[in-house]
Amino acid sequence: MEHEKYMRLALEQAKEARKIGEIPIGCVIVYKDKVIGRGFNTRMRDNNALGHAEITAINEACGCMGDWRLEECTLYVTVEPCPMCAGAMLQARVPRVVYGVPNKKAGCVGSVYNLLNDSRFNHQAEIVSGVLAEECADIMKSFFKEFRKRDKMGYIFDFDGTIANSSYLWKKVDKDFFEKRNMAMPPEYADKIATMSFYEGAVFTKTAYNIVETVEEIMEEWHKGAVKEYEKNVTLKESVVEYIRFLKRKNHKVGLATASNPEFYLPVLKKYAITECFDAFADGTLGLPNKESPDIYLKCAEMMGVEPKNCIVYEDIVQGLESAKKAGMYTVGVYDGRSEEREKAVEAAADRYITDFSLELEMLIKNK
Ligand SMILES: [Zn+2]
């Protein structure tokens, strides 16, 4: 009963660690029914390998007692102590150590070794284990589960119109293409080819408008005009670079899912020095069906090693959003300033709708 009472106080300390994103281990040291030392794990916050709960608690207790010996004290800790902390207990001559759950990988009070029960040393301690074991284990388990989940989120971005200000570009290339042939660009043209791969678009254009050049020649013409434009003039949307860098720093996976090809998007990513932030490029070179099918998003998730249900897709095209949903992913529609009607459709198709990545960045920072 007494043990449980103090172990609960150690658990309170563990919760303090959890609050600041540290592995939730807590410790209290009791002298004559009085808590004289407390500590929780602060290793990451302080960038200090000595920042274990027990070390902090021993420090405080020694200060309180005005003595390096803690000879009539009992130390309560939620997890079996590591070699460093068990060593410190040995040095402080702590006579009794009570812990919650064993640490099979690093515990030195019985699991890997028992530093407090080796007759070759000049001090041994009484050990009590398994006090509130379930609670002590639960707080660890839930912490690591959450941590793993955070680590394993996948952020999938479409390129044109979603992160890049490039929607004008194909319109320009297309317009030039038809103008060169003394034709007006058909009004429905842009929407028709929006979800097609480069090759599909060329086949469609040749057939639908009786173009004399071969599919290869059409692609070559588009290619030259577009590469130049991407290299010189295409910019990324506001806050995209900061957002993607932030996601990487937080160990998320980042992928690009686009019908486009590397010769177009890579110069832009390079210009902003964020190519290295991407874990996967599911692009037009993979020969997957266009975005009317979920395949490209599923492939991107697979390449990132993230479950589809843990993926968030940013898209500016309705068909893309619908396919990503079919893939079991969470979808965010992105404003691209085209027609109001189009934006309404994007808003309706997505789980959430944004006009600006700076808000995404802000939300993520706040939720940390
Ligand atoms: Zn330790």
pLDDT at position 21 is 73
Q: What are phi and psi of 205, to 5 degrees?
A: -65, -45
pLDDT at position 167 is 80
Q: Which residue has the higher pLDDT, 71 or 355?
A: 71
pLDDT band of 38, cuts 50, 70, 90:
very high
State mean pLDDT over 104-112: 95
pLDDT at position 362 is 79
Query: Which residues, at least 6 apart from 318, have a Cβ–Cβ distance to it below 8 Å?
Result: 342, 345, 346, 349
Q: What's the 85 CA to ligand 1 centre distance in angstroms?
A: 4
Choosing from 2, 12, 22, 54, the catalytic residue is 54
pLDDT at position 151 is 61
pLDDT at position 150 is 61
Query: Which residues, at least 6 apart from 63, have a Cβ–Cβ distance to it below 8 Å?
Result: none
pLDDT at position 146 is 67
Q: What's the 80 CA to ligand 1 centre distance in angstroms?
A: 8
pLDDT band of 72, cuts 50, 70, 90:
very high
Q: What's the 87 CA to ligand 1 centre distance in angstroms?
A: 9
Q: What's the 252 CA to ligand 1 centre distance in angstroms?
A: 29
Q: CB 250: neighbour CB atoms within 10 A? A: 13
What is the helix (H) or strand (E) element at residue 57, kind and residue range? helix 53-65
Q: What's the 8 CA to ligand 1 centre distance in angstroms?
A: 19
From the CA atom positions of the chain, what is the Rg in Å? Answer: 30
Query: pLDDT tens digits for 184-232?
Result: 888 889 888 877 877 899 999 999 999 999 999 999 999 898 898 999 9
Q: What's the 251 CA to ligand 1 centre distance in angstroms?
A: 26
The average confidence (pLDDT) of the chain is 92
For the whole model, what pTM was predicted? Answer: 0.56
Residue 125: pLDDT above 90? Answer: yes
pLDDT at position 340 is 85
pLDDT at position 148 is 66
Query: pLDDT tens digits for 221-274?
Result: 998 988 989 999 999 999 999 999 999 988 899 999 999 889 999 999 999 999
Is position 54 annotated as part of the catalytic site?
Answer: yes
Q: What CA–CA distance (Å, rounded) separates 305 from 58?
A: 43
pLDDT band of 160, cuts 50, 70, 90:
very high
